[in-house]
Amino acid sequence: MARTDPHSYYDDAQPRTRHLGLELEVDFEGRCLHGWAMLDLGEPSSGPLDLDTKGLDIFSVEGEEEAEIPFELADEEPVLGRRLRLDLPPGTRRVTIEYSSSPDAIGLQWLDPAQTEGKRQPFLFSHFQPIHARTCIPVQDSPRARVTYRAAITVPKALTAVMSAGSVGEQPGDRPGARTFLFDMPQPIPTYLIALAVGDLDSRDLSPRSRVWAEPRTVEAAAHEFAEIEDMIETAEGLFGPYEWDRYDMIVLPPSFPYGGMENPRLTFLTPTLLAGDRSLVDVVAHELAHSWTGNLVTNANVDHFWLNEGSTVWAERRIVEALHGEDAAVLGWAIGEKALQAEFERFGAEATVTRLRNDLRGTDPDDVFSSIPYEKGSRFMILLERTAGRERFDAFIRRYIEHFRFTSITTEEFMEFVEEELPGVAAEVDAQRWLYETGMPPNAPVFRSDRLEALTALAADFAAGTRPGPEDVASWSPAEMLVYLQHLPRPVEEAACRWLDRNLELTSRGNYEILVEWLAIAAASDYEPAFPRLREVLLRVGRMKYLRPLYKALGGHPRTRALAREVYAAASPGYHELSRRASEAVMDQYPA
């Protein structure tokens, strides 16, 4: 037995799936996927083959020439699900499993027409990270077990299916009123990067290798917002090497999507909260794009090494931002991230084990400890390595790292071995052991400064003493500068001060959700009633966890706002993703009795 992933039954001593074939029908009425998964093992195999499943009904398992293969479903384990063990006869190269997913599969969100922008058709989207592919497909659900895949997805004729794979056409479905979309992903990916969305979709081409998908009511706004994506791709290529996924398409999902984005190769999933109208939030796409190198091309071996994906990608994202907008813009990004990091240390406690980069999450549901720590602490470790080695030397290292490990999944220890080979002595100089294996923030954490940042934080620090920015200051601020100013304001704030902020900074009417949510958190913490209608509107419409956590937390400070939180949550939660419900309830569980 050689299980290398604490969150998977994958055993690397057993045969490994090399290619996955899917023939699935999307059943909106039954809220399930039904069909066949074909596992190509690449070579003749025999003996036990353990797969991950969670909530799947397994109807049959066959080998070549439709020969039945014995199988056994183990008892349910709360985090891992049920192990599906196949007993492969000698010479088995391919296995076909007929199965159906459960209506409550956490890897899928089913939306009624009323929950979409168009209000006419239902919508489905998947989210398999970190360990939810098993709720929709019987697979070796570990990043080490990368697969290529082909898929045939049958949907109602009025709807369109898109996947994290190249489109190879469509054909009539096997039944009247249906059509089947065909896909091919020729590069090997972790199963958590398999992605599917189905709905009333339209698209616009942005460049020869990029397209944006969205509902018809949203697609023009999305095309405007992301029109400059080709410049971002070319900038990233200049930093990290060639883009190896052929296309960089995006899809703007309905507002219940629980994340800002998800880096599914060939089809990045995005929240509609990025559609600010002025392209002020498109740098979020820089993060998802950077994953094309750090995360998708080189992947963490399992969630114990999640910082390798996210810390490296935040570092890469801010290098892209710096190349596009200058050093001051990158410094503001680091400052905004610092606030997120501080909030997470307050949430868990600075000495909590989950504040380490290299974790041991055996027995823990990764969703329960998801936070900004691997992103922000991890990226600070990366830039410390960069500063210590020197930018030119480190940039050359990153390119060699990506080339050396491309299309593989690695551990923290493998990364550090490569660091020592390529940058000898640098790890010891930065005290890498403390960064990786100890809690909290090491004393040598990098500091980010600029005249603009210091001016904004000083102005915010003097707010309680009555100092206010003048109209000329506000007019000159970029959205990031406005956000930094708001983040550094004290809270709660007196009613008159809230009124001044709202009137002079025009906060409640903002379309930029980063600024809007920061303001609404201040207003909620201050029990500022004029902002309640907008706050209610945001909580009812948006399911992004990044926004739900601080808003529900801010509402916990006063009896009236706690009552408002519970009232709004009761109305909003049926439209939230299960992950968003968990996050919101965890916050409200901390309210005083």
Catalytically active residues, by annotation: 288, 375
Residue with tokens 């009137």: 503
Taking the CA atoms of residue 533, residue 474, residue 501 and residue 539 in that order, the dihedral angle to the nearest 10 degrees is 30
Structure tokens at 576: 């939230």
Structure tokens at 373: 């720590």
**Percent helix, strand and coil across the chain, each to the nearest 5:** 45, 25, 35
Q: Which residues contact 133 (CB under 8 A, 6 or more apart)?
A: 52, 107, 139, 141, 191, 192, 194
Question: How remote is the C-alpha of 44 from its chain's centroid?
Answer: 37
Among 549, 518, 545, residue whose Cα is nearest residue 531: 518
Among 282, 299, 310, 140, residue whose Cα is nearest residue 222: 282
Among 194, 136, 164, 132, residue whose Cα is nearest residue 8: 132
CB 584 within 8 A of CB 552: yes
CA distances from 554 to 192, 228, 404, 494, 523 (A): 33, 36, 46, 15, 8
The Cα–Cα gap between 239 and 398 comes to 9
Among 158, 270, 164, residue whose Cα is nearest residue 221: 270
